[in-house]
Amino acid sequence: MIRFLIALALGLGPALADQQTPPLPPAPSLDAPAQANGAGQKGPGHAGVHGYGHERADCAEWSDGCVVCRRSGEQETACSTAGVACTPGDAVCRKAK
């Protein structure tokens, strides 16, 4: 019985080695902007937490539950860094101007 299993394994080895593996997907372009924390992955009108301030000029502080952004000037914003295991939600205004 053991001889049969060894012969079977030796006989199938070359046959399995001839099978081709599926091609790998293309690598992401280095020229494309990074999609950090799901930013920009929603439909039109949803720019994520970093673009929320551009859409809502009346908001002084906003967050998606992971990143908090504040206006540091009339046109400038500053945002915190998200934690490694944070799952962002929808951006909401936390403090109006």
Domain membership of residue 76 (yes or no) is yes
Interval 40-69: pLDDT, tens: 444 444 468 888 888 888 999 999 999 999
* 86: containing domain: 46-97
Residue 3 within any structural domain of the chain: no
When divided into structural domains, the chain yields a total of: 1
Q: Across-strand partners of 92?
A: 63
Query: Is residue 58 a part of any domain in this protein?
Result: yes
Q: Which amino acid is at 14?
A: P
Distances (CA, A) of 59 to 39, 42, 54: 19, 21, 9
50 within some domain:
yes
What is the 3 state secondary structure string of the chain?
CHHHHHHHHHHHHHHHHCCCCCCCCCCCCCCCCCCHHHCCCCCCCCCHHHHHHHHCCCEEEEECCCCEEEECCCCCEEECCCCCCCCCCCCEEEEEC
Residue 28, domain member (yes or no): no
Distance separating alpha carbons of residues 41 and 28, to the nearest angstrom:
15
Q: Is residue 56 part of a domain?
A: yes
Residue 72: inside a domain, yes or no? yes
Q: How confident is the model at residue 16 (pLDDT cuts 50, 70, 90)?
A: low
Question: What's the pLDDT at 80?
Answer: 92
Is 65 a domain residue? Answer: yes
pLDDT given at position 3 = 77
Token pair in block for residue 85: 């295991």
- Which amino acid type is present at position 46? H
